[in-house]
Amino acid sequence: MGAGLTALDVLNLVLVVGFLAALFGWAGGKGALRSLRAELSGLGDSLDALDVRLKRREGSAGQAATQKRKTELQARDDEADKLAQALARGGGRRAGLRMTEQDAEELRIAELEAKAQRDGIMGSKAS
């Protein structure tokens, strides 16, 4: 069979085989692209589902962090209120705290008024 073929027959055979190979390769490539698109579409859907889950978790974690922050701020406010009440009961003066000159003067005046009332020199204050 090979001895009776001319160069033109061989060329035609190569062209036909090449054309068929190119045609099937193109068709296979299109099929591969279609299957690749299908895989990418499925991957995209999976990523979207994962994104929704992550956002849901971040939301709940964010709510927990916000609640923790609010609790800490409330505890600080409560502590500040207790300290303010303690200072109000103690007259604002504590042992070991440095008094200003005005505080010292007010303390001396209050002591003199208390002594005058005890001695009966000064009557009760009329408001």
**Domain range spanning residue 60?**
2-89
Split into its structural domains, the chain has a count of 1
Say which residue the tokens 């990523």 belong to: 47
Q: How far apart are CA 111 and CA 124, in angstroms?
A: 14
pTM of the model: 0.31
Closest CA to 83 of 94, 70, 98: 94
Overall average pLDDT of the 94-117 stretch: 80
Structure-token pair, residue 78: 């409560």
Question: Does the structure show a pLDDT above 60 at 62?
Answer: yes
Model pLDDT, residue 17? 93
Q: What is the DSSP string of the chain?
A: -GGG--HHHHHHHHHHHHHHHHHHHHHHHHHHHHHHHHHHHHHHHHHHHHHHHHHHHHHHHHHHHHHHHHHHHHHHHHHHHHHHHHHHHTTT--TTPPPPHHHHHHHHHHHHHHHHHHHTSS-PPP-
Confidence of residue 127 (pLDDT cuts 50, 70, 90): very low
Residue 71 belongs to a domain:
yes
Residue 108 belongs to a domain:
no
Q: What is the pLDDT of residues 110-121, one digit of tens each?
A: 888 888 888 888
Residue 45 belongs to a domain:
yes
Q: What is the pLDDT of residues 6-57, one digit of tens each?
A: 889 999 999 999 998 888 887 777 777 777 777 788 888 888 888 888 888 8
Question: Does the structure show a pLDDT above 70 at 104?
Answer: yes
Question: Does the structure show a pLDDT above 70 at 97?
Answer: no
Residue 67 belongs to a domain:
yes
Overall average pLDDT of the 93-104 stretch: 68
